[in-house]
Amino acid sequence: MPLLPLPDVKEVQRRLKLVFPEGTPHRTYVVREMAAKTIFAMLYVGAIEGSNGWLAPKHVYRLSDTQARMQTEDARRGFGQAAMRPGFVPKRGRWYADNSRESIRDETLKEGLVALGAVVVRPGIATTSGQPRYAMKADFTELFSPRIEGAILTQRITAWHEQHLSAEAQARLSIVRHGRTATKGAVTVTLPSGESRNMQPGLSSEITKQVIEVFATRFLVNPAVIWVSESGNKVIARDDVLAREIGIDIRPQKALPDIILADVGDPLLLVFVEVVATDGAINNSRRRALMELARESKIAERYLLFVTAFLDRAESAFRKAISNLAWGSFAWFASEPQNVIALDGTRPQAISKLRDLVR
């Protein structure tokens, strides 16, 4: 089987960013230059599913600028064999040192391209073996053909997503992509009562919409909105009647959160939500301030809940906030609406071992 034409590394990286958009798990691993060079190396040595060609990390870290420019069939096949031999000396402009092996093998390949269904692993090879074991899937390989561009490339990428990504993963990508790009037109939020409110365009408004329309209905039994605001302290919605019944003061001049929800039932739960597009998570000091806000209400402290809402776990906003999120609070992601992260700083007395959590 003849070797395939080669795109340059920059073009491979550009296409990787299209194939794996914002919201892809471990996206950094599969769109960085190391990933592009790994794909290039697979194409260079012919490590393609069905061709009986396989790649080892050595093929990536022993490639060089000089070698990459040598693109005849003989040069490519010769490198594929020679790079595996002890004592091989890479040509000038070597891409990586030998100690890059773990980053290529564990991050780019195992946790990245293999986990995402783009690369297959050769069966029957011991994990401790240094033999080549990785190959690009045939349909993934097509996405890097220099002969495919423009609208046809977009169609092939869409088809690859539909075939290889679960419905949940596709939904996550859609939510993240929409949240990151929604900059025009008002964001319409439908309250649990059925009423609608318009918010200014932007990521914070998109996350707010998801909190009210998705989080509240999924995690609360009988949700009600007491308060919603946006940047500039503009009040989007408030329910003074319910607030008075609860005994909470929702005057705008107070240090209110972005959203206050109630789960109207017995017992009644009060849920404070901060929406984080860039900053403003519920840390320990913010949690104490919100507890003080509710001190005169009729809600017992154990029925006060604190949630920080993000767009996605892979976003820098979450990575920046995670180390300071308050114990006794929750983190929720619009892109993965079925789950919450509970930071349980008050372990229930009955739970002393991990097995107690799965009863």
pLDDT of amino acid 356: 59
Query: Please, what are the averages of pLDDT over each run of 10 residues along the chain (359 residues)?
Result: 92 96 86 97 96 95 97 96 94 94 94 93 83 95 95 94 78 71 76 90 90 94 92 80 85 83 89 91 93 82 92 88 93 91 69 54
Q: Which CATH superfamily is domain 187-358 in?
A: BsuBI/PstI restriction endonuclease, C-terminal domain (3.40.1350.80)
What pLDDT does 157 receive? 94
- Looking at residue 202, its pLDDT comes to 87
3-class secondary structure for the chain?
CCCCCCCCHHHHHHHHHHHCCCCCCCHHHHHCHHHHHHHHHHHHHCCECCCCCCECHHHHHCCEHHHHCCCCHHHHHHHHHHCCCCCCCCCCCECCCHHHHHHHHHHHHHHHHHCCCCEEECCCCCCCCCCCCEEECHHHHHHHCCCCCHHHHHHHHHHHHHHHCCHHHHHHHHHHHHHHHCCCCCEEEECCCCCEEEECCCHHHHHHHHHHHHHHHHHCCCEEEEEEEEHHHEEEEECHHHHHHHCCCCCCCCCCCCEEEEECCCCCEEEEEEECCCCCCCCHHHHHHHHHHCCCCCCCHHHEEEEEEECCCCCHHHHHHHHHCCCCEEEEECCCCCCEEEECCCCCCCCCCHHHHHC
Domain spans of the chain, in order of start: 9-165, 187-358
Give residue 172's pLDDT. Answer: 73
pTM of the entire structure? 0.68
Whole-number pLDDT of residue 144: 97
Residue 349: predicted pLDDT = 55
CATH no., domain 9-165: 1.10.10
- Please report the pLDDT score of residue 102 as a whole number: 92
